[in-house]
Structure 1
Amino acid sequence: CINKDGTMNELAGKYEGMKLEEARKAIIEDLKREGLLIKQEDLKQTVGCCWRCETPVEFLPTEQWFIRTLAHKEKMIELGRKIKWYPEYYRKRYEDWVRNLKWDWCISRQRYYGVPFPVWYCKDCGRIVVAKEEDLPVDPRLEGYRCECGSENLEPEEDVMDTWMTSSLTPQITTKWVEDREFFEKMFPMSLRPQAHDIIRTWAFYTILKAYLHENSIPWENIMISGYVYVDKGMAMSSSKGIGESPEKVIERDGADVLRYWATCAGVGEDLIYREKDITRGKKIIIKLWNASRFAETHLKDYKREKAELKIEDKWILSELYRVIEEAESGYKNFNPNKAKRAIENFFKNVFCDFYLEMIKHRLYGNDEESKKAAKFTLYQCLLAILKMYAPIIPFITEEIYQELFREHEGDISIHVSKWPEKGEVDEKSLKLGRMATEIISAIRQWKTQRSMPMSAEVEKVVIESKEDLKEIEEVVKGTMKVKEIEYGKVSEGTDIGFAKVEIR
């Protein structure tokens, strides 16, 4: 007894024409007046509301267009299992949704915008007239048509399609389903669908359904699920509610690379909290990458790509690099850029910058040409690999550095069309000795910091106790920390002192 405009119709009797809330109040008053109201109290109950404006909604029985869906539930589960889900546990959410479906897919909407149904209703014979494929696209409200009975007295369908009716065809549209069938056969199904977890029940499900109905196929081989972005109070970001930060403002203020770096803070399938400190952290990393590249540029200006005999620290950093290349590659291949980013960042910040760059400064500014050549070779290889690994996450800064430092030598017109960095063989001995060198350097740094000494201050003597032979890393420790003499002490029997015990005098 409710009209489409929210007023009561003729079935409501004396309440006809009233708005819903007015009618409810009038009914209560009538019950009171007749002495029929026994009790009145407020009750908490679930009320359907518009997700955008939170206005309560009423459901009206109306004729709509549907796609038969319930008959295909088992097939939808079967097809869902042919797709690889990242993370895998979201497949269960998809299957739970499919199993609990209770109605077919209503594909029509009563809106002012959308894709029109190419349908007319013949007023003479009652037929439903559907436009021929070669006549599409067509708006039935603007264009006439002829019925099989010969009549042109047709009434256009005024409903438009549900938005998921068209967005569920994105794999077909992207692969030129209609325009180029040969191309479509080559590209369909697609390799990946990235999307958020809240639309598994809509976009993912309907896309799988449409691919089955049209092609008897899955639409893509992999689906990568992302989470929501929340603000500190745990509320989901919403532009309509004014909650959160505009990405355009962040890009204008900090740059697109910074925003992209922040976006990879979440693991695949995880929600993400927007915090300024995370934005700042990403900005610092990008500035650090720029500064490291400027340092490298001063030493690689006339670089001739000559390979020299590598020193222990060169072999160590390259071994560390080969391991992080493998870890980053695994992250990207499994659609987890967060895993890749964490591996790259740890290597770049805590290994390459904090240690290796400091280890080679005395060599780069020294007079030993062979040592300098080896340091330049290693610096070149490491920085180029870091840029390539970072490029999918921060494409702009990596491209700019590549163009200035590497394009002339590498030949590729862009870092984004260059090959992924190659993994060499890990030198286990150099890896172990290099890590021991960083432990000793850290101990000397701490000793200097505690005494408010600059890192460039000379140290007379360092005594190292270790079960290992550390002669090979003596030069790098001395050169990095300005140590005049290293003495090796004896290790007490039956003690486990780890890598080394360092005493500074």
Structure 2
Amino acid sequence: MRTSVCRDGGGGAFRRTESVFLSRIQAGLKTTCPVAQGDKPLEIITTRQWYIRNGGRDEALRKDLIKRGHELAWHPEHMHVRYDNWVRGLNGDWLVSRQRYFGVPVPVWYRLDSEGAPDYAQPLAPDESLLPIDPQSDVPPGYDEDQRNQPSGFMGDPDIMDTWATSSLTPQIATGWEDDPDLFVRTFPMDMRPQAHEIIRTWLFSTVVRSHFEHGCVPWDNVVLSGWILYPDRKKMSKSKGNVITPMGLLESYGSDGVRYWAASGRLGTDTAFEEKQMKIGRRLAVKMMNASKFALGFGGDPNGVITEPLDTAMLAKLAALVDEATSSLEKFDYTRALERTEGFFWWFCDDYLELVKGRAYGEGDGASSARNALCIGLSTIQRLFAPFLPFVTEE
């Protein structure tokens, strides 16, 4: 296999793509079937392409990649079967070359014989220290530009890389592979890959393949898989169907916190229907948070003060249990459960507890101080629990 070069000279990230590409890809043949026009017959054309081994024709590699899937923690767990089925069902290698103009070019050249025919069996590969290169503008060592596409000269590989061939190195690029060795050692493998379920077979699998070859490990410890956003009629949103909803109007109507509340209400691995009603609830929750905070914190309680009243200690005990549950849920990437439990406690806090203690908080003495201190601690903790979901109002 090989690695890639950046056409715009984008430095180390694509140098890495090239070096991996040059060390991992093999040349092969691909059959393409152009679309026939009218009643003209289809013409079968064979063209040279580039591939990366992915276990489709190598049983030992297939078993290794299946094992890599078991090394990942899947959220939700049942999504693992999609990866497993995909790897087991492969019957060919990963085609990574494309015949387009824009993209990361394949960094090799070919010698031309005295009749101008390329020698595909012995491609000219640049030294890794020279990467990135573009074979359409750069010249291989030992040649000059006048020999390009001339008999006894050279030609550049005209192909570019498939999207997944380049994006499959995103963990390495983000963690400073080669550019920042200290950062890379501390952050790779990464902790989590968030993505949607339909690209398990593409982005996720291709990233695992690249990491397996280059580093001998999985690129992250956890995979967090979301579903699709569906139109209210439960059909997938699509530009071709004209049912895509842009977010700007929603942000203006319900605020960022309202939209985030709706998004966080969708469970992992489950498709979520677009629903403005949930955004209205999220906005109402944000407004209530602002008003409750102003009211409770207006008493000027001491977060380190003494709590003496049984009702106040009971509230704080219930809050401590919520913190433990929310923390456990977030550590499992179950953010929806953490939001549900926090929201339920918050409405109980406002509707019941706050109404019960506000009269005492207006008073004097130890009972009043206990209420004020408990309100201060309670609101501060609730704000932090809501912060991942309603960051703007909690920051205020």
Q: Which residue of 2 aligns with 1:475?
A: none
How much does 1:239 deviate?
4.1
Displacement of 1:108 after TM fit? Answer: 0.5
1:266-305 correspondence runs (5 A): 266-300=266-300, 303-305=301-303
Show the 5 A alignment for 1:441-480: none
Instruction: Please give the secondary structure, in 1, of the residue aligned with 2:328.
Output: helix
Q: How far apart are the structure 2 equivalents of 1:306 and 1:259?
A: 35
Tell me what 1:335 maps to: 333
TM-score using structure 1 length: 0.66
Residue 211 of structure 1 deviates from its aligned partner by 0.4
Contact kept? 2:105, 2:134, Cα under 8 Å: yes
- 1:111: Cα distance to partner? 1.7
Distance 1:166 1:274 in 2: 32
Contact 2:32 2:44 in 1 (8 A): no
In structure 2, which of residues 370, 374, 377 is the aligned counterpart of residue 378 of structure 1?
Answer: 374
Conserved 8 A contact 1:306-1:373: no
Q: How does 1:70-89 map to 2 (within 5 A)?
A: 70=55, 71=58, 72-89=61-78
| Superposition deviation, residue 168 in structure 1 | 0.8
1:122 aligns with 2:111: yes
Deviations 1:298-351 (A, max 9, x none): 222xx44462342222122111101111111111000111010001000001x1
**Corresponding residue for residue 98 of structure 1:** 87
| Deviation string, structure 1 residues 102-157 (Cα, Å, up to 9, x no partner) | 11000011122111111111113723112221111111112222359997622111
Deviation at 1:5, TM superposition (A): 11
Q: Which residue of 2 aligns with 1:236?
A: 236
What whole-Å deviation, never above 9, does each CA across 1:250-308 have from its counterpart, x for those lacking one?
223322222211111111211111111111111111111111112123222xx444623
Deviation at 1:22, TM superposition (A): 3.7
Segments of 5+ residues of structure 1 without an aligned counterpart are: 8-18, 25-56, 401-505
1:359 is aligned to 2:344: no
**TM-score, scaled relative to structure 2:** 0.83
**Residue correspondence of structure 1 range 424-435 to structure 2 within 5 A:** none
Write the mapping of 1:387-398 to structure 2, written as runs, cut at 5 A: 387-398=383-394
Report the CA distance shift for 1:381/1:60 in structure 2 as closer, same or farther (over 3 A).
farther
Q: Tell me the secondary structure at the aligned position of residue 172 of structure 1.
A: helix
1:60, distance to aligned residue in structure 2 (A): 5.1
Aligned to 2:306: 308
The alignment partner of 1:85 has SS state of strand
Alignment RMSD: 2.4
Q: Which amino acid aligns with 1:65?
A: W
Cα distance change of structure 1 residues 357 and 239 upon mapping to structure 2, 3 Å threshold: farther
Which amino acid in 1 is paired with 2:109? W
Q: Deviation at 1:249?
A: 2.9
Alpha-carbon distance change, 241 to 158 in structure 1, aligned in 2, over 3 angstroms: farther
Change (3 A) 1:266 1:304: closer
**Matches of residues 311-326 of structure 1 in structure 2 within 5 Å?**
311-326=309-324
Post-superposition offset of 1:205: 0.6
Change (3 A) 1:147 1:105: farther
242-251 or 183-192: bigger deviation:
242-251
Distance change (3 Å), C-alpha of 1:135 and 1:164: same
Hey, what does 2:22 align to over in structure 1? none
Report the alpha carbon displacement of residue 101 of structure 1 after superposing the two structures with TM. 0.5
- 1:227-255 per-residue CA deviation (whole Å, 9 max, x = no partner) reads 11101111112345432321233223322
1:44-193 pair list within 5 angstroms: 61-70=46-55, 71=58, 72-124=61-113, 126=119, 127-146=122-141, 153-193=153-193
- Checking the alignment, whether the CA contact within 8 Å between 1:307 and 1:377 is kept in structure 2 is yes
* Bigger Cα Rg: 1
Change (3 A) 1:65 1:321: same
1:364/1:206 Cα in 2 relative to 1: closer, same or farther (>3 Å)? same
Does the 8 Å contact 1:83/1:223 carry over to 2? yes
